[in-house]
Structure 1
Amino acid sequence: MGENEDINLTDEPETPEEAAVEARGFSLGKLIEWILSNMITVVVAVVLSVVVSFFIMNSIISKKSEDVYKTVKITPKPAPLAIFMLDDFRINTADIDEPRFVRVKINLAYNQGNKQIQNELVERKVQIRDVVLRILNRKEKRDIDTVEGKERLKEEIKKEINNILINGEIEDVYFDEFVIS
């Protein structure tokens, strides 16, 4: 049996080193096991990082939003303007081909805290009406028939009236009625 001792008929390794080499060899099961064990920790780490990053960014964004809301101050609305009503205006337009008739009710708005302008408007009512009549008499239908034309007319009336006032200015001109026929 001396010669047969050298031959190993079984699959078992003879030495522990040979067993370690054989264990280190390629095995699909061991590779899958290694990937799963290491990938699970990597996936868990990535998911945790994303969740933590989301909450941190969300809190930063909400703090910035709060800062914006805290710094914005609401300005108080101005007090309503006082109204000075002029009588109706009934005039013919400057149209040559076909004269048109205009009926307008105009109100002048001014700062209600300025009592001097209120008195001046009352005292100069006839002069103010004359200014408005001269302006309206120069206009043709096409000049005042559009929204833009009416806005330009308001600005012109406001400018001309403010040129004659001494104790303040009117803030706006309102048309209560505006009919062109």
Structure 2
Amino acid sequence: MAKEKEKQAPEKTASPVKRLLFIGVPVLLILLVAAGTGFYLLGALNTTGSAEARQSDTGRDKTELGPLVEMDDFVVNIVHRDSTRFLKVGITLEVRDKTSSESVKKRIPQITDSVLLLLGNRKYDDVKDLQGKMQLKADLLAKIRSLAGKGEVTNLYFTDFVVQ
């Protein structure tokens, strides 16, 4: 009778090889997919564009600084709850080349008007942290580029930034 019970009851423990196949292989696949995604997102797999990325559209190395156009400091009122605060911003524009510099200098009144309007619409909470300052910089650069022409202004630098 003991022999009959052994024949009727199937073996319930899986072999180590089957465990490895059912658990190890899916875990390994997940790790490989995660690693591949990480490399893709970090750009480690894109080696063809690295030399091109170091140079701008004019052939100048990104470490070179283009001609600079300094603008006057801007002082505007900004709102903070029930009080008024002041924002003082100094801006310097980096342009593509000397001809771009002349073209941007001709548009300084339009650029100044746009900068004053953009700064005056900000609130203290919009500019008190790094994220707000970076957003302000991006907004100013986009507006100035639209006024100066495509590719004329390559970057914008805050040379002074005071909130009081």
TM-score category, normalised to shorter length: 0.5 to 0.7
Gaps (5+ residues) in structure 1? 1-72
Identify the match of residue 133 of structure 2 among 136, 146, 150: 150
Show structure 2 runs of 5+ residues with no match: 1-49, 56-60
Question: Within 1, Cα distance between the matches of 2:149 and 2:96?
Answer: 14
* Alignment partners' CA distance in 1, 2:87 and 2:147: 25
Is the 8 Å Cα contact of residues 87 and 163 (structure 2) preserved in structure 1? yes
**1:8-35 C-alpha deviation (Å, 9 max, x unpaired):** xxxxxxxxxxxxxxxxxxxxxxxxxxxx
Equivalent residue of 1:94, what SS? Answer: strand
Same amino acid, percent of matched pairs: 28
- 1:169 and 1:159 map into 2 onto residues whose CA distance is 12
Letter in 1 for 2:78: T
1:106 aligns with 2:91: yes
**Preserved contact between residue 87 and residue 105 of structure 1 (Cα < 8 Å):** yes
> Quick one: which of 64, 76, 90 aligns to 2:75?
90
* Distance in structure 1 (CA, Å) of the matches to 2:67 and 2:135: 22
- Following superposition, the deviation at residue 132 of structure 1 comes to 0.4
More strand by share: 2
Task: Report the Cα distance in structure 2 between the residues aligned to 1:96 and 1:127, rounded to whole angstroms.
Answer: 30
Say which SS state the counterpart of residue 80 (structure 1) adopts.
coil
Q: Distance in 1 between matches of 2:65 and 2:81?
A: 41
Which has more radius of gyration? 1
Residues 112-151 of structure 1 mapped to structure 2, 5 A cutoff: 112=97, 115-151=98-134
